[in-house]
Amino acid sequence: MFLQRLPKSFNVRNEITPPVFTDHFLFTEELHQPYECAEFPAAIGLLVAAGGVCHYNVNGTRYAVEGGQVFFVNRGSPLQVKAIERGVRPALLFFHSRLPDLVQFSLSFGGEVLLEKPFDSLPFDFSYLERMHADTALQQSVLSLIELGSSCSSFGSLQADSLIRDLFESLLMRNQEAYKHSQNIQAVKASTRLEIFKRIAAAKDWMESNYAADINLESIASVAAMNSQHFLRMFKQVYSVTPHQYLIDIKLKRAKELIGDTSLTLNEVCEAIGFESPFSFSILFKKRFGAAPSQFRKS
């Protein structure tokens, strides 16, 4: 992996095709003056904010990326980076150009095929569902790559490559699951299905980050830029549960973690996940996991 400062231009030759990377490239630096690069066709990669709020224009849409968020940009998508505030630190991780196909190839075929057929004979037309991920762990992985990239040791380079490959494989598996969910949407055009799914998924990610707050259907639907009735119907089509059911499941899973891994009292756990009634919490927890919270802690 190569760690480099942000260039004046990502497209010095003014080409209309995405750049080809023969290794992983991570571009980042803390900005002390305004920065802007001309629009260029992106390679497949991740757009992150290593500090402050970073603005990326992708396919003509402006995205404000901040801590805990990662935007996955697809190969060939028009990309522009712009930062005005001091202290902002954009981070753009572009994967080795062959990595997407290599990973998809290894996940699609068994060991015998992988040994008998050369990879070059089975190329893939790789395409990722381009959207924002609210994922603190994913962002932290990129931040750790910045630290590894600052190391001159060959071990650090090998460790970075391994982390990037694991990261991309996880993203690819999420992508396959996302496309599967998007097919549940009852729309004629594939582009409409994907747009609706991206909005629903963004709202789902927001729920996972704000599950303990006092939120309602209208506030969740506003994240998806949809009216509440349309959002409710689309969410049920995609995930086969209502937003309320999904939110309850998030709360209960988090409660299970807190009960098992912390010394918080059950009332404190109930408060931490945003449940007002300990009695209702206990009933729902037992229904979900087969044991009351107190029994679960003892076991």
Tokens of 142: 């990129």
Q: What is the pLDDT along the chain (299 residues), one digit of tens a residue?
A: 889 999 888 876 777 788 888 899 999 999 999 898 889 999 899 999 999 999 999 988 888 898 888 999 988 899 999 887 888 999 999 999 888 877 877 776 655 555 555 554 444 445 567 788 888 888 899 999 988 876 655 566 788 888 999 888 888 888 878 878 888 888 778 788 888 988 898 899 889 888 999 899 999 999 999 999 999 999 999 999 999 999 999 999 999 999 988 888 999 999 999 988 889 999 999 999 999 999 988 87
Q: What is the pLDDT of residue 205?
A: 87
CATH classification code of 2-179: 2.60.120.810
Count the residues in the chain. Answer: 299
Structural domain boundaries in the chain: 2-179, 183-240, 246-298
Q: What is the pLDDT of residue 273?
A: 92
Q: Which residues pair with 94 in a beta bridge?
A: 25, 45
Q: What is the pLDDT of residue 174?
A: 82
User: What whole-number distance in Å separates Cα of residue 264 and Cα of residue 248?
Assistant: 20
Q: How far is CA 77 from the centre of its chain?
A: 17
pTM over 0.75: no
Question: Residue-wise over 20-54: b if at least 16 C-beta within 10 A, else e?
Answer: ebeebbbbbbebeeebebeebbbbbbbbbbbbbeb
Which residues, other chains included, contact 268 with Cβ-Cβ below 8 Å and sequence gap of 6+?
Answer: none
Q: What is the pLDDT of residue 258?
A: 92
User: What whole-number distance in Å separates Cα of residue 99 and Cα of residue 44?
Assistant: 10
Q: What is the pLDDT of residue 111?
A: 57
CATH classification code of 246-298: 1.10.10.60
Tokens of 90: 């954009």
User: What whole-number distance in Å separates Cα of residue 224 and Cα of residue 185?
Assistant: 15
| Inter-residue contact 122 to 73 (CB < 8 Å) | no
Region of residue 35 (left: phi > 0; alpha: psi -120 to 50; beta: else): beta
User: Whose structure tokens read 């080809």?
Assistant: 20
Burial class, 286, CB count within 10 angstroms (exposed 0-12 / middle 13-18 / buried 19+): middle
Coil/strand/helix, residue 25: strand
Which residues, other chains included, contact 299 with Cβ-Cβ below 8 Å and sequence gap of 6+?
Answer: 291
Q: What is the pLDDT of residue 67?
A: 86
